[in-house]
Structure 1
């Protein structure tokens, strides 16, 4: 939903968040852009909070019961104002993407996880109890281009297209593993 709202607000992906548009296209809203700077700032702050927090299995992502109210209460009033008339469509977009991911991911996620493990082995990362515990979080997002971004130290945002392409996936991930696990 966050990426949908970014596109809806007309915020340039090159300026905030992963620098790639969503797939499929989201029509930018019409109307005044006088609050564009505020929305860009609020969106960037919200996105950072979503992608840099601990997303380990022990601390699952908590989805607020009422996102609009949550945005207003937590300092994102322009985003809440933008989201209000488009909430149904944004929710539908998010649910459709989640369903698509659920349906297709079983065909490629196990292979990508094996490839990450192989990259870690090649990097010399030990799985011994004395090794410092670090975790890589991979967040799949429906972007037009097969790309990946490292955010928050060990969180990787990867486009759906990239996760489906083994060679490209390894090409993007190898340098990220080097950054996350320096020798």
Structure 2
């Protein structure tokens, strides 16, 4: 996580291994789109896309696909509501004992899920290094400075956790009170970045 800010505000930008893991499970089970789409906010499918499988037989005795979707959404809310998000412990995932269908899914596919997540963490580290080499200005700081000029005062005190994820849609999702889920490609598109983040800066600052 890379923090930036002034004494009155702080924005912490990074990625989340456990959220990557959870999104792999969501997409592999087909819970990323269609009538069974899971999650609030419903973030885009991940890239690169993950192998699809039918978990129906696996989770049948634990309540089936409907229960799996509900349990994944419960876990997603837990991840979004904690700072830092709670970790999980493979291969048995005792943290998911209250979510038996999800625990079965995690146990059955943890190897491929962790391998995919580790590769995405390496990709994100390379992206962060590239940004550092280019000495790019802080896009959040620039929007806050613009807002301060508009208001004629310093920004109000706030803290924002920005979680960058490899998502197929270049956009962002704000989760109250202070989390922004964002495609890690969004900052590369200055206009799109501003369209999503400027209203949030106006709200917070």
**Which moved further from structure 2: 33-42 or 154-163?**
33-42
Q: Does 1:168 align with 2:178?
A: no
Q: Does 1:179 align with 2:203?
A: yes
Provide TM-score, normalisation by structure 2. 0.72
Measured in 2, the distance between the counterparts of 1:62 and 1:39 equals: 19
Please point out which of 51, 72, 76 is paired with 1:47. Answer: 76
- Measured after TM superposition, the shift of residue 153 of structure 1 is 2.1
Which structure: greater strand fraction?
A: 2
**Alignment length (residue pairs):** 169
Measured in 2, the distance between the counterparts of 1:170 and 1:88 equals: 38
RMSD: 2.4
SS at match of 1:5: helix
Q: 5 Å matches for 1:4-83?
A: 4-13=24-33, 15-16=38-39, 17-32=41-56, 35-55=64-84, 61=85, 63-66=87-90, 68-72=93-97, 75-83=98-106
Measured in 2, the distance between the counterparts of 1:106 and 1:66 equals: 29
Measured in 2, the distance between the counterparts of 1:15 and 1:47 equals: 9
- Measured after TM superposition, the shift of residue 15 of structure 1 is 4.2
- Measured after TM superposition, the shift of residue 62 of structure 1 is 5.1
- Measured after TM superposition, the shift of residue 108 of structure 1 is 3.1
- Measured after TM superposition, the shift of residue 5 of structure 1 is 0.7
In the other structure, the counterpart of 1:107 is 130
Please point out which of 120, 140, 161 is paired with 1:97. Answer: 120
Unaligned runs of 5+ in 1: 56-60
Unaligned runs of 5+ in 2: 1-20
